[in-house]
Copies of this chain bind each other. A is one copy, B any other.
Amino acid sequence: MKKSKSAYSQIMSVKSFDIEAQRMICIMNRIDAGELGLFPLDRVELKAVGSSRKIVTVVDVTDSMVKPNQLGVFKSVKEKLSLDGKSRIRVTPVPKLVSLVYIKKKLNGEELREKEIREIISDMGKNALSEIETSAFVSAVFVHGYTLDETVAMTKALAENGKEIKISKKPVVDKHCIGGTNGRTTMIVVPIVASAGCFIPKTSSRSITSAAGTADVMEVLADVSLSMNKIKSITENIGGVIAWGGALDLAPVDDEIIKIEHPFSLDPPGQVIASVMAKKASVGSRFVVIDLPVGPDVKIHTKEKAEDMARKFIAVGKHLGIKVQAVLTDGTHPCGKVFGPALEAKYVMQILEGEFFDDLAQKSCELAGILLELCGKAKKGKGYTIAKEILESGRALKKMQQIIKAQGRHYLKSSKMPKLKLGKDVLSTGSGTIDKINVRKCNTVARIAGAPADKEAGLYLYVEEGNILKKKQPLFRIFSKNKRKLKLALDYAKKNEIVALERNIIEIMP
């Protein structure tokens, strides 16, 4: 946070408020703000008188909350400066952060240099940029995009700003899927590649808009809130781990950026790539497979966009010393038949137990195979066969049992898992051939039913695309332990076409 010396300051008494604020902020009377030449959202340096502690905060201006010569502070500021009722604070206006100059440069459409991006991310990491400023930066990136150099610089800056996990064994591998589909390939790929001698410290997210994220599903079987040390030791001892990445500090600034992107679903490809690769770099991955599902209902809509992202992932990896293979996958169909944490957990365990081998198992073996070839654990063209053999032999199941134990729980056979009680079937209203099952709407139904907070809530498909249906045949079952939510989910399911039948006439003119 670069700033020049400011000329004038003022000493004030403290009024503290028992409030957590997400940002470092202080509240100043309009009269003091005027005297110090401060405008709302300007910054000041606060230094406790008689102490060496100091921080920079944003200023909020008020007419009534604090009196002149009084400075209002929230919990985090109070704690950082160790203030009490008698403390006095020296308040010094801080000239513009140089980050703001760089953000404006990006708004103007100019390319940022590595040190400029590093400065912006470093200031975000210190909570020194306001939401307004971060939003302007994110908007600028959305409008103008990143060059390859910028993407690499952003990746490095995000990683540098977080903590590292250093795995002492080799090879460290990883996989990542650019969201939007269902299907927990991670929970099958991890035990397969760990069985084959790879080390895979996989961190996953909870769901934001779908029925479950991998962390939500794994949590049904094991603890996922693991410390950095625990992730390191489990990976080194067992070969693999499936943890929740949200509470880790691998790339903390990334969460801030994602929060700002959320209201508009802004996710400029360069920022997505930097976000993913920074986390891979922070856990020391050297071989990474990126799964890019393509389809109208997932994040990436066209093959061209997916290819473009794939090329950028590979190029960024090359700059970071990470070997990346990106695969385009079909994101137009459901992968597996279930939506919701408990349903998906059971489904995955059934695959690992060898109860069936479906499209989810198939995709998982393909991804695992590519990863094994990439890191040299399988010869070219042999990866898939080896992966499938590890799955079918039960070695992947055994590895998953070790992982579950290391993550603090006991393995329970899928047939012994608790039965989901409250559920209701939805029947077909017509007959014909199933043309399409809408993954996005399946996720919505499961969410209305209570997923992922209610682990048992979800949706189970009885049918698949291509099936020939009779009238009143069961299409899917909705689970929820809350009757009201179950009814709401049923209402939504009836009003929205989740399973679409084939039509021959697609348009009538004029």
Interface residues, chain A, with chain B CB atoms under 8 Å away: 7-8, 17-20, 22, 31, 34-35, 37, 39-41, 60, 62, 64-65, 96, 100, 103-104, 107, 109, 130-136, 138-140, 142-144, 208, 259-260, 262-266, 447-448, 450, 452-454, 484-485, 488, 491-492
Which chain B positions have C-beta within 8 A of A135?
131-133, 135-136, 139
- Whether the pair A262, B35 counts as a contact (CB closer than 8 A) is no
CB-CB under 8 A for A132 and B260, given A8-B448, A139-B140:
yes
- Shortest Cβ distance from residue A215 to the other chain B in the assembled complex, whole angstroms: 12
Bound: A139/B62 CA distance, A = 26
Question: Which residues from B are CB-within-8-Å of A142?
Answer: 107
The answer to whether B35 touches A259, judged by C-beta atoms less than 8 angstroms apart, is no
* Smallest Cβ-Cβ distance to A74: which chain B residue: B19
Interchain nearest-CB distance for A277 vs B (Å): 24
A7 near B448: Cβ-Cβ < 8 Å: yes
A323 smallest CB distance to B (angstroms): 34
- Contact call A263/B100, Cβ cutoff below 8 A: yes
Given the complex, which residues of B lie within 8 Å of A64, measured CB to CB? 20
- For A20, list chain B residues within 8 Å (CB): 62, 64-65
Residues of B within 8 A of A65 (CB): 19-20
In this complex, the member of A132, A453, A488 whose beta carbon has the largest number of chain B beta carbons within 10 angstroms is: A132
- The residue in chain B whose Cβ has the minimal distance to the Cβ of A484 is B8
Which residues of chain B come closer than 8 Å to A264, judged between CB atoms? 100, 103-104, 107, 133, 136
Q: Which residue of B lies closest to A452 (CB)?
A: B34
Q: Please name the residue on chain B nearest to A31 by beta carbon.
A: B453
Whether A453 contacts B488 by the Cβ 8 Å rule is no
Minimum distance in angstroms from A217 CB to a CB of chain B: 15
* Complex-state Cα separation, A62 to B136, whole angstroms: 25
Min CB distance A261 to B, Å, is 9
Q: Give the distance to chain B from A450, nearest Cβ to Cβ, in Å.
A: 7
Inter-chain contact B259/A485, CB cutoff 8 Å: no
A359 → B minimal CB distance (Å): 27
Chain B residues within an 8 Å CB radius of A492: 7
Let me know if A450 and B263 touch, CB within 8 A. Answer: no
Find the B residue at minimum CB distance from A40. B259
User: Which residues in B have their C-beta under 8 angstroms from that of A450?
Assistant: 35
Contact A447 B37 (CB under 8 A): yes
| Cα-based distance from A193 to B20 in the complex (angstroms) | 54
A16 to chain B, nearest CB (A): 12
Question: In the complex, A134 Cα to B41 Cα: how many Å?
Answer: 14
Indicate whether A39 sits within 8 Å of B262 (C-beta atoms), given known contacts A139-B140, A453-B34, A491-B7: yes
Q: Judging by beta carbons under 8 Å apart, are A485 and B453 in contact? A: no
Do A143 and B31 contact each other (CB < 8 Å), given the known contacts A19-B19, A20-B64, A39-B262? no
What would 16 A/B residue contacts be, using CB atoms closer than 8 Å? A7-B448, A7-B491, A8-B484, A8-B488, A17-B18, A35-B453, A40-B262, A41-B263, A103-B264, A104-B264, A104-B266, A107-B142, A132-B132, A132-B134, A132-B260, A139-B143
